[in-house]
Amino acid sequence: MSQKRKQVVKNVLLVMLMGVVVVSATAVYGDLKKNSNETYEGLKLFSDVISEVENNYVEPVEPKKLIEKAIEGMVSSLDPHSSFLPPEAFDDLQSETKGEFGGLGIVITMRDGQLTVISPIEGTPAYKAGILAQDIIVKINGEFTKEMMLWEAVKKMRGEPGSTVEISIYRQGATEVMDIKLVRAIIPMDSVRSLTLKPGYGYLWITNFRENTADEVEKALKKLEAENSPLKGLILDLRDNPGGLLDQSVKVSDVFLEEGIIVSIRGRDEKQIEEYEAQPDNAAGSKYPMVVLINGGSASASEIVAGALQDNKRALVIGTTSFGKGSVQTVRPLRDGYAIKYTIARYYTPSGKSIQAEGIQPDLVVKRRVLDETAADGFDSDMVKEGDLKNHLMSGQEDAGDVPVEKKPKKDKKEGKDAKKDGDIDKEETELEKILRLRDAVYEHSSTNSNAMLLDSQVNRAYEILKGYEIFRGFSRR
């Protein structure tokens, strides 16, 4: 074949290939245009707004900042746990589960645009200063926090250990805002405490789920088993535990389970289910009866553990309904150090129940109070829950025709037979402070730990249940 003929053939093939590419691209573009017309129209509108503001706003604006704020608003409107992270926020997020950082030691969320405390972390400056669940942080160093991005608030409260920060707190029932000056400290990364309550009965307290929590649990169990031969019962305290790493909640559950599903995860396509199962070789703590304590501050990973042990009939769960944070977030790095954290799935307990906005229901409702004094009915029922957060996800189990149940307004504390007289001390706040002091006794490892803990009504009830179970077992052996 002549060189000229070869060139003609090549040209013909090239034209044919280009025709195929054009046809294919046109078909794909047609599908994209058909399926994403609303997105394209929205982007045009977005571009128009940016251009209008950039050119005509009363003062010069930076397009980059406008776009960042627009993305922040878009992502945060999805649900309370999705957010757009600038580089500094992404760095802070990574430090939460790795290494040490200087801060105050409080777990916070945004509720109706207000920076609200979920729980203080035991042993931290915030805890020692008496900051309580449901406190609203009105200002940080004189700057109002209303509508502040969550990561911004976190960043303002973190800093070099030894440096100071002033926060202004509003507490329900208080007549004025309290200004509290705190000294930042290294936030302790250990997440497990333990002690022997009474001979044969152990108490294991998990404050959060970090990188080494499962290892810490196994070490604590070995210590308790060495002190109590045999260990007749164990109380696992997950109250005010805000959660943490999924893999650690699975591993901790696995310590107490010989078999069964621990948790399942379902995304948009519910046919794609990811299940985590217990492994028999890991069940070091499966030999004795257990009681698990939860309350409205128990969220996320702690709810996974409670749900796994409850549904697998491994433990009795007592306390009050948990927070209801049953959604899975992923963090995707973007260009230039930015990242996006967003919700990709929901958690389901082994029985198939969604945790999201529902929480773990205890087998036995026991409100927390101090047993050495006449106490109020308890405070757990008024704690902020996932279902109270703006834009919270539903559980995913609602029927199409279901009508949302309207929440009953909280009863005015001044109504009814338990009404306080003007000038009376707020007993509910007093109860909170007492309980925090009792739990601080465990943190400080004083010689009266066990007696102090048994003044906590929920711990006491758990101990009575385990003790009663052992007594009945003795009956059955006769």
Contact 326, 80 (CB under 8 A): no
For residue 311, indicate whether it is catalytic: yes
Q: Tokens 């998990």 belong to which residue?
A: 206
Rounded-to-integer distance, Cα 251 and Cα 247, Å: 6
For residue 457, indicate whether it is catalytic: no
Taking residue 389's Cβ as centre, other Cβ atoms within 10 Å add up to 21
Closest CA to 309 of 213, 238, 241: 238
Rounded-to-integer distance, Cα 206 and Cα 217, Å: 8
Rounded-to-integer distance, Cα 305 and Cα 245, Å: 12
Active-site choice (240, 298, 325, 354): 325
End-to-end CA distance of the chain: 104
Rounded-to-integer distance, Cα 377 and Cα 379, Å: 7
Rounded-to-integer distance, Cα 380 and Cα 383, Å: 5
| Residues in CB range of 276: below 8 A, 6 or more apart | 250, 261, 262, 263, 264
For residue 163, indicate whether it is catalytic: no
Amino acid type, 382: D
Cis amide linkage into residue 230, ω under 30° from 0: yes
Active-site choice (300, 395, 450, 457): 300
Name the DSSP letter for residue 230: S
Rounded-to-integer distance, Cα 358 and Cα 348, Å: 11
Sign, CA torsion 321/449/191/167: positive
- Going through 278-320 in order, the beta strands assigned E by DSSP cover 290-294, 315-319
Active-site choice (237, 311, 380, 456): 311
What does the DSSP assignment read for 145-188?
Answer: -TT--HHHHHHHH--STT-EEEEEEE-TT-SSPEEEEEE-EEPP
Q: Which residues are catalytic?
A: 300, 311, 325
